[in-house]
Amino acid sequence: MSDYDYDLFVIGAGSGGVRAARVAASYGAKVAVAEEHRVGGTCVIRGCVPKKLLVYGSHFAEDLEDAANYGWSFENPRFDWPRLRDHVLSDVDRLNGLYEKTLESHGVERVMERATITGPHGIKLASGKEVTAKTILVAVGGWPFVPEFEGSDLCITSNEVFHLKEFPKRVVIAGAGYIALEFAGIFNALGAHVTVVNRSNVILRGYDESLRDRLLQITMSRGIEYKFHCPFQKIARREDGALDVHLEGQDPLIADQVLVATGRRPKTDGLGLETAGIQLKDNGAIPVDEYAKTSCDSIYAVGDVTDRIQLTPVAIREGQAFADTVFGDKPTTVDYDCVPSAVFSQPPLAGVGLTEGEARNTYGNIKVYSSDFRPMKNVFAERAERGLYKLICEEPTGRVLGLHMIGPDAPEILQAAAIAVKAGLTKQDFDNTVALHPSMAEELVLLR
């Protein structure tokens, strides 16, 4: 008999926590998962999945516009926000149910209330019940960060945007990271006037500079306005319900909604980690070693609550590696090298490996191959938008250090190409591959 109530108690039922729980249970562990909201986590409930569905929905505006030149005609097409919103939320319900069934089928106990840590092996539930576990895994993820200024309580975040009763015609978005620009593209395509406000003049910090510049040009041509070096001063509500948005050094803006997308922080406030001697980083992240262990031997952490790569597939791998290590007797670490990522902006961009700037700083002697082209899909469109693919290679070996692209379907193309980058293939390997014509992807083997 165990000295503890559970072999593993997971706090947080997101992608990383669910994976860790079900795999640990499959190894024979007695597992419970505590979740104060819904099973599925940020990605499934209020993040990348519902957001991608909104992206799909917004693309029809462009497709309907281009359809006429392809011989199609439609009479009085109109957009119905409640219908799209409700379909998206319905799919969230479906996925939430699937995650619950996954835990149930693996014998994992679900505890639908907040849990906090009371010591190396202690957990207290919101109901007041206290339990113990040999191992505790923290997988509570992150939470939107909202700067403090007068009227900041009138803003929404990516948590609330999926539940808007009415479609806003005027949207101000604070921030210029991937969440900000993805929602900017969605609202813009669906007919809203969008203004992106940023404290600096850099969008998508960390992505290749050439792609960032290209996206900025294209989105501006689509009608998205940018205001750089503009901190928020205050927001006030008018009698008609609209918002006056006051920015430093600018005339006030009028908005129906202000979406704050200035980043996310680990959701560790009030979690009780200090009772186990765990000291958090300045941003609230939990420090862990290569096996996801904290400074307390019985407590581990995976996913966005740490300061590693904040991506759902990474959290899933971390959860798998944790369970294999602790309960499967198979010590496993996660390889964070060459992790692909994408921004589902309009158009989307994607990248894997080093950017041109990073490669020059690290290797010095590099060669950059590129293709700047007009996607075939856009030939009949009235938009003169061009795609851009870049291959960054080490010299003289030709080994591919990074691949970055912007254009229609860039993320779908990059996933397969990322395998080549991860495998350490060379520019010659790309050249030796016959092009698939006509396609945008063929540009990858025709780069000069």
Any binding-site annotation on 176?
yes
DSSP string across 47-84? SHHHHHHHHHHHHHHHHHHHHGGGT---SS----HHHH
Contacts of 290 (CB under 8 A, 6+ apart): 333
Classify strands 193-198 and 225-228 as parallel, antiparallel or unpaired. Answer: parallel
Task: Give the pLDDT band (50/70/90) at residue 147.
Answer: very high
Mean pLDDT of all residues in the chain?
95
Any binding-site annotation on 319?
no
Q: Is 437 a catalytic residue?
A: yes
Any binding-site annotation on 263?
yes
- Percent above pLDDT 90 for the chain: 94
Rounded Cα gap, residues 389 and 407, in angstroms: 8
Any binding-site annotation on 181?
yes
- Give every strand in the sheet of 232-237, ordered side by side: 232-237, 243-247, 253-255
Res 378: pLDDT? 86
Q: Write the pLDDT tens digit of every residue in 210-267.
A: 999 999 999 999 999 999 999 999 999 999 999 999 999 899 999 999 999 999 999 9
Res 88: pLDDT? 97
Mean pLDDT of 150-174: 97
Helices first, then strands: H and E counts in the chain: 10, 21
Mean pLDDT of 4-21: 97
25 pLDDT higher than 80: yes
Rounded Cα gap, residues 179 and 182, in angstroms: 5
Res 379: pLDDT? 86
123 pLDDT higher than 70: yes
Catalytic pick among 37, 59, 121, 437: 437
1 pLDDT higher than 70: no
Any binding-site annotation on 179?
yes
Q: Write the pLDDT tens digit of every residue in 340-380.
A: 999 999 999 999 999 999 999 999 999 999 999 999 888 88
Mean pLDDT of 384-408: 96
- The per-residue b/e assignment along 1-18, b for 16 or more CB within 10 angstroms, e otherwise, is eeebbbbbbbbbbbbbbb
Q: Write the pLDDT tens digit of every residue in 254-300.
A: 999 999 999 999 999 999 999 999 999 999 999 999 999 999 999 99
Q: Which helix (H) or strand (E) holds 132?
A: strand 130-138
Res 377: pLDDT? 85
Any binding-site annotation on 372?
no
Q: Write the pLDDT tens digit of every residue in 83-95.
A: 999 999 999 999 9
Any binding-site annotation on 419?
no
Res 307: pLDDT? 83
Mean pLDDT of 123-150: 96
Res 354: pLDDT? 97
Please report the domains of the chain, with CATH numbers, ordered by start residue: 6-142+265-326 (3.50.50.60), 152-262 (3.50.50.60), 347-445 (3.30.390.30)
Any binding-site annotation on 182?
yes
Task: Give the pLDDT band (50/70/90) at residue 303.
Answer: very high
Q: Write the pLDDT tens digit of every residue in 165-177.
A: 999 999 999 999 9
How buried is residue 118: exposed, middle or buried, by Cβ count under 10 Å (0-12/13-18/19+)?
middle
Angle of helix 48-67 relative to helix 81-105, nearest 10 degrees, comes to 140
